[in-house]
């Protein structure tokens, strides 16, 4: 059976088909063409060029780096392929940087200047590519990492500075001196640095001890980023004679050394938080009633004059820590 359309119906059908093709052209083909014209060409994958290419433009920086511990290993005694790339092992492959004519931020290189604009996360990932073990094991969960501290805030790579490649703050910061570590930590930990100025203090200004002897700045599963499991265990690394075990233990001592001592510095002798006997009377009040007739004599004396074994005693008669 042949179906014949009237002229009027046939014209409406043709108009519908033409409109459909126009819509498909306008909303399908043209946007695809425009997007293809506007989309920038994908840059070629960067490749490694070698140290000599970097040295051609960055000779002064290359010379400084070659004098550092890291530079001597990477340039002259590389232990693997990554270290052998030297500059590019940290900054990334440099072919796109060279092809783009060089300059800061060209070619997608990672820069480590404090004013580079790179996030601490990006900078630290380059460092963690090698430094993932040992003291850096807990870095990702450390307070410093969670606060956006970058490795280059404390360390410098391009200059021969103090031990551990710590950043040199100014011309007064000594080279190859343990005190440089105190200056670096003191940039943020101002209260602790001020405590070191007190009359009774840890021998840090004298260079006999530094912050990292007790704390691991890269992270620790222990409180206050201590290197040992507790405050006492930390103290016992130097004060082994206080460890015990004792026949008669002093509970406040075995609980926490910081119950009585301020570890960073104090205005009282022996890093005590409060002068004796007031420190002892915070817990003990037995002598106060008996000293009512001689208050001045009592409060002007130190409990340790009689209770000399205050940290613990092994004497059979040492219940009161007098021997």
pLDDT at 67: 85
pLDDT at 181: 83
pLDDT at 2: 44
| Mean pLDDT, residues 111-123 | 83
Instruction: Work out the pLDDT band at 162, boundaries 50, 70, 90.
Output: low
pLDDT at 231: 94
pLDDT at 46: 82
Task: Give pLDDT tens digits for 189-212.
Answer: 999 999 999 999 988 888 888 899
Least confident of 36-45, 92-101, 157-166, 309-318: 36-45
* Residue of higher predicted confidence among 228 and 34: 228
Question: What's the mean per-residue pLDDT of the chain?
Answer: 81
Instruction: Work out the pLDDT band at 250, boundaries 50, 70, 90.
Output: very high
Whether residue 297 has pLDDT greater than 90: no
Whether residue 223 has pLDDT greater than 70: yes
Whether residue 171 has pLDDT greater than 80: no
pLDDT at 23: 64
Are the C-beta atoms of residues 193 and 185 closer than 8 Å to each other? yes
CA atoms within 13 A on the CB side of 8: 0
The pTM for the full model equals 0.74
Instruction: Work out the pLDDT band at 64, boundaries 50, 70, 90.
Output: confident
| Mean pLDDT, residues 137-141 | 91
Mapped onto helix, strand or coil, the DSSP state of residue 202 is coil
Tokens read off for 111: 């820069």
Residue 123 CA to residue 176 CA, distance in Å, equals: 25
pLDDT at 188: 92
For residue 266, the 8-state DSSP code is: E
Are the C-beta atoms of residues 283 and 273 closer than 8 Å to each other? no
| Mean pLDDT, residues 204-226 | 90
Task: Give pLDDT tens digits for 6-62.
Answer: 445 556 666 766 666 666 555 555 455 445 444 444 556 889 988 899 999 999 988
* Residue of higher predicted confidence among 131 and 286: 131
| Mean pLDDT, residues 222-236 | 93
Whether residue 4 has pLDDT greater than 60: no
Q: Cα-flanking dihedrals φ and ψ of residue 209, to 5°?
A: -150, 150
pLDDT at 38: 47
Instruction: Work out the pLDDT band at 157, boundaries 50, 70, 90.
Output: confident
For residue 27, the 8-state DSSP code is: I
CA angle centred on 161, ends 125 and 190, rounded to 5°: 75
Whether residue 176 has pLDDT greater than 90: no
Least confident of 107-116, 143-152, 172-181: 172-181
Least confident of 37-46, 63-72, 260-269, 271-280: 37-46
pLDDT at 5: 43
pLDDT at 71: 87
The domain limits of the chain are 228-313
Q: Report the greatest alpha carbon distance in the chain.
A: 133
CA angle centred on 52, ends 51 and 54, rounded to 5°: 65
């Amino acid at each position: 059976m042949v179906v014949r359309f009237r002229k009027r119906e046939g014209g409406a059908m043709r108009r519908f088909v033409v409109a459909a093709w126009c819509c498909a052209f306008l909303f399908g083909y043209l946007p695809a063409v425009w997007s293809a014209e506007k989309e920038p060409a994908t840059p070629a994958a960067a490749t490694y060029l070698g140290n000599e290419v970097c040295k051609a433009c960055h000779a002064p920086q290359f010379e400084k780096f070659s004098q550092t511990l890291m530079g001597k290993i990477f340039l002259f005694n590389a232990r693997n392929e990554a270290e052998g790339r030297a500059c590019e092992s940290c900054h990334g492959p440099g072919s796109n940087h060279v092809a783009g004519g060089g300059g800061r931020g060209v070619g997608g290189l990672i820069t480590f200047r404090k004013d580079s604009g790179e996030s601490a996360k990006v900078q630290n990932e380059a460092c963690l590519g090698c430094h993932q073990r040992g003291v850096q094991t807990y870095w990702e969960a450390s307070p410093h990492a969670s606060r956006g501290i970058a490795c280059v805030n404390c360390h410098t790579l391009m200059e021969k500075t103090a031990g551990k490649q710590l950043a040199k703050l100014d011309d007064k910061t000594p080279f190859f001196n343990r005190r440089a570590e105190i200056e670096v930590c003191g940039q943020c930990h101002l209260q602790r640095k001020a405590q070191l100025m007190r009359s009774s203090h840890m021998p840090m200004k004298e260079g006999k001890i530094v912050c990292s002897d007790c704390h691991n700045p890269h992270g620790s599963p222990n409180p206050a980023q201590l290197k040992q499991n507790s405050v006492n265990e930390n103290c016992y690394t130097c004060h082994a004679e206080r460890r015990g075990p004792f026949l008669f233990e002093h509970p406040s001592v075995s609980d926490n050394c910081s119950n009585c001592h301020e570890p960073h510095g104090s205005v009282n002798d022996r890093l005590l938080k409060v002068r004796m006997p007031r420190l002892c009377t915070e817990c003990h009040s037995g002598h106060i009633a008996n000293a009512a007739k001689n208050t001045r004599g009592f409060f002007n004396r130190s409990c340790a004059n009689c209770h000399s074994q205050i940290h613990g005693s092994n004497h059979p008669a040492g219940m009161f820590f007098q021997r």
